[in-house]
Structure 1
Amino acid sequence: MSFDNAYEALTEDNDARWAFGTGFADPLAGLDTTVPSGLDAAELARSCLWLGDDALIMSHRLQEWVAAAPELEDEVALANIGLDLLGQARLLLARAAKADPSIVPSVAQSDEDALAFFRDAADFHNVRLVELEGGDFAVSMARLLVFSTWRLALLQRLVDSPDQVLAAIAAKGIKELTYHRDYAARWVVRLGDGTELSHERMQAGIDAVWPYVDELFDDDASLREEFDAVIAQVMTAGTLKQPPVRPAAQTRYLEPLLAEMQSVARAHPDATW
């Protein structure tokens, strides 16, 4: 369908959705969302919810670079990476809600919107890595490299999930995350093997995110070997050093992040695009 202007596309229907640019009201429309026999529905919902939370919060952090990236090309790239993750979040949160409707807050919104905008910080289950403030560009590239390398390895295993919906989400996400990882790796190498100043800042970025790496493997240590091999290759090319292991501090970033992200939806819960 063609439109005379962009606003007609946004207002084609009276769909109460908050995720701009997704183009569909129900991300799982037409799919059989019955939980396969032998799978625990609550456990499936938990896995999808946690994966969705990681993608949602990371997406928000990446969108903070819009109008702030060093080059227009990178602003567009980071916005698109953020939208990829937002799409993953929608699919995963919707799958979680279909598997276990009891997790959805009782508000007049679609399932994924209710989970994204009407849960408090204590009800989110994302890894702490995605909560961190972006800092400078080097910190954000270090985090994106770590996050996308870990998540890509994770989704590569989930394509064999007995839940066909989760398997399909993972297969789609693999293609996206391969680009995310490669984009971040190119920047880490470019900055690490650049000038003395860029090297110092890139090493500082790695140092800043490294305390949050171990948490990524709490549920599946089998991913660590693959992750370490990729990171070691990138660090070697960028003349960077892997920091020593040190404990990660609790962050105080999630509550203010959610206050910003959820503000419009909570102030106008009955609004429509």
Structure 2
Amino acid sequence: MADVDNKALFEFLVRMGDNTLILGHRVSEWCGHSPILEEDIALANTALDLLGQTKMWLDYAGKVQGEGKSADDLAFLRDAWDLRNVLLVELPNGDFGQTLMRQFLFDAYHSIILGHLLKSSDDEVRAIAQKASKEVAYHLERSADTVVGLGDGTPESHRRMQAALDYLWPYVGEMFETDDIDRAMASAGVAPEPSGLRADYDALVGRVLADATLTIPEGKFAHKGGRNGYMHTEHLGHLLCEMQWLQRAYPGCEW
């Protein structure tokens, strides 16, 4: 493996971990509120998978940072402006259709980048990708099937899924922005440049949305923000208050 800047590697790792941390928490909000029991269990399991992946990414990030911080420290003791997740994953759940559309749009990206990370020059990144990719393959299959079922379902379900796609699509572009951190990771063989993943993503998403009889909104517009540490939505602060309350109220508690 080529020489790696530890600061850049740390940034890459928290980006990966923050995406799964925030999406996992969002998905967990459906626990006890899903349309049917089967979906309640499925979404809870998805959330658990994402949080398990978070622990792997943030544990490694803490190790690379070298300040003795655990995954819990990085998850619960940073403020909103320090998180590096893309904006898509922090958006409110909306209705069930919007939640599954958000999941699908992220799952498609997640499956593609993990596929590349299976060839990472970093042994630990590669090991995390090997475990996570098996879970994400299932997530993608499930979310894609649900998007097709609802999109090509009743007039009402089709309308809601198209509305969800129209709302969420402007946030997709951020996942493929490339900066100096990404270029450093690509140069060291740790991870691909996000911009190079867009063609595969569009092909995968395009096939599923065509089967779902849904139309991708026109226009190349995108919201910039979370992964670079600015312009998070106003919803992230509320989410962190809920997610971090116990740790901040009782620092270092054990049970």
Give the TM-score normalised by the residue count of structure 2: 0.88
Q: Match of 1:225, SS?
A: helix
Matched residues in 1 for 2:252 and 2:118: separation? 37
Is the 2:172–2:222 contact (alpha carbons within 8 Å) kept by the matching residues of 1?
no
**Matched residues in 2 for 1:102 and 1:125: separation?**
19
- Counterpart for residue 51 of structure 2: 86
Q: Distance in 1 between matches of 2:67 and 2:107?
A: 30
1:120 counterpart = 2:79: yes
2:223 counterpart residue number: 248
Please state if 1:224 is matched with 2:198.
yes
Query: Which structure 2 segments of 5+ residues have no match?
Result: 179-193, 225-230
Partner of 2:24: 59
User: Which structure's CA Rg is the greater one?
Assistant: 1
Residues 162-181 of structure 1 show CA distances to partners (whole Å, capped at 9, x for unaligned) of 21111100111111111111
Question: Would you say how many aligned residue pairs link Structure 1 and Structure 2?
Answer: 232
Tell me how far 1:39 sits from its aligned partner: 2.2
Counterpart of 1:263, as a letter, is W
CA contact (8 A) 2:15 2:84 kept: yes
Separation (CA, whole Å) in 1 of partners of 2:89 and 2:68: 22
Q: Which residue of 2 aligns with 1:130?
A: 89
Match of 1:268 in 2: 250
**Which one of 133, 142, 155 corresponds to residue 101 of structure 2?**
142
Aligned mates of 1:134, 1:270 — CA distance in 2: 30
Structure (1 or 2) with the greater helix fraction: 2
Q: 2: CA distance between counterparts of 1:122 and 1:101?
A: 21
Q: Does 1:166 align with 2:125?
A: yes
1:31-46 to 2 correspondences below 5 Å? 38-46=3-11
Q: State the one-letter code of the partner of 1:248.
A: H
- Bigger mean CA deviation after superposition, 159-168 or 242-251: 242-251
Partner of 1:26: none
Identity %: 42
Flag the 1:179–1:97 CA change in 2: closer, same or farther, 3 A.
Answer: same
Q: Report the CA distance between 1:40 and its aligned residue.
A: 2.1
Letter of the 2:21 counterpart: L
- 1:93-104 equivalences under 5 Å are 93-102=58-67, 104=69
Gaps of 5+ in 1: 1-35, 105-110
Q: Following TM superposition, by how much is the alpha carbon of 1:37 offset from its aligned partner in structure 2, in angstroms?
A: 6.6
Q: 2:24·2:48 contact (CA, 8 Å) conserved in 1?
A: yes
How far apart, CA to CA, are the structure 1 residues paired with 2:195 and 2:77? 32
What is the alpha-carbon root mean square deviation over aligned residues? 1.4
Paired residue for 1:69, among 26, 34, 37?
A: 34
Q: Partners of 1:227 and 1:85 in 2: how far apart?
A: 20
Shift of 1:103: 8.7
Q: Specify the alignment match of 1:182 in structure 2.
A: 141
Q: How far, CA to CA, are the matches of 2:173 and 2:86 in structure 1?
A: 10
Instruction: Give the number of the structure with larger relative contact order, counting CA–CA contacts within 8 Å between residues 6 or more apart.
Output: 2
Query: Separation in 1 of the partners of 2:62 and 2:252?
Result: 20
- Measure, in 2, the Cα distance between the counterparts of 1:221 and 1:37: 21
Which residue is equivalent to 2:154? 195
Q: For the residues of structure 2 that align with 1:227 and 1:37, how far apart are their CA atoms? A: 28
Cα deviations by residue, 1:29-84 (Å, 9 ceiling, x for unpaired): xxxxxxx6722222211111110000000000000010111111111111111111
TM-score between both structures, scaled by the size of structure 1: 0.82
